[in-house]
Amino acid sequence: MYNFSKIKNTYNLVYLDYFKTKDKKLKSLFEFYIRKIKSSNLLKEEFNIYSVLNNSMFESDVDAQNFITECVIQMSLLNNDEMSKLHTELSNKLVANKYELSESESNVENLFEKYLNIKRKSGNLPLISETSLELRKSIIGNVDPKETLDYVNIPSDVLTSIMVDKFNNKYSSLDEGSRGLFNILMDDNDDSKKTFLNNSVKECLNKVNSKLLESSGDLDLKTMLLSAKEKLLSIEYSPDTFTSDVSRVIDLKSNIN
């Protein structure tokens, strides 16, 4: 039973829930998923196949069919017994943390797994043909650049592109700062991250300074704002602390009315 798209999509949601709540248990759960992919050539190869599938576009039905055939062959080369154990381990970890497997929002992935899971027998030939046609149509003129891939290694940072499936559809309620941060994380560029952090600090300092002018009669509030300002001024960009630093800045900025 092929169900990696559901597993992958659910772990994406785990990370996005962590992104919203900062629950360390969720971060640990997502890191478990990343470690498994990094340590297993089978999972890494499977992830690569799904990523290529999501990012492929063809002009002709023949090219699409040849590509799908090759993807099926590549999947068949993976050790199904070992893969099944890995999937079960990843799924059980989700269930233990009260997550149910969530259907992927990628129509290409859903059709691909439907095609793979159809039992090959004469009575299923119409279904096989129909699903193959749907799958071919889904990658003719289709490209979804939201999921990218490092073909050599999955980046060590847990904030990788693995989590990006349909972010805007699922988490449209996030504020502009959080959306901006998500895009920066997807870019995974140090210069972009540094610029984003510095701009976020500057914007937050402006809000703090404005609030200080309004708080002349409230000593407690003024003390709190001065403390926040001091911490903001001490922030310097570091790849290791970027996520926590910028998250705190965004949280502070959003909480200053």
What are the extents of the domains in the chain? 4-154, 176-255
pTM value > 0.95: no
| Residue ranges in the chain modelled with pLDDT below 70 | 142-188, 216-217, 257
Q: Please report the pLDDT score of residue 132 as a whole number.
A: 92
Distance of alpha carbon 166 from alpha carbon 16, whole angstroms:
11
Q: Please report the pLDDT score of residue 169 as a whole number.
A: 47
Q: Please report the pLDDT score of residue 248 as a whole number.
A: 78
Establish how many alpha carbons lie within 13 A of residue 192's alpha carbon, considering only the half-sphere containing its beta carbon. 10
Q: Please report the pLDDT score of residue 153 as a whole number.
A: 38
Distance of alpha carbon 233 from alpha carbon 124, whole angstroms:
66
**Residues 6+ away with beta carbon under 8 Å from 78:** 42, 45, 46
Q: Please report the pLDDT score of residue 142 as a whole number.
A: 46
Q: Please report the pLDDT score of residue 231 as a whole number.
A: 83
Burial of 50 by CB count in 10 Å (0-12 exposed, 13-18 middle, 19+ buried)? buried
Q: Please report the pLDDT score of residue 48 as a whole number.
A: 87
Q: Please report the pLDDT score of residue 87 as a whole number.
A: 95
Q: Please report the pLDDT score of residue 150 as a whole number.
A: 37
Q: Please report the pLDDT score of residue 217 as a whole number.
A: 67
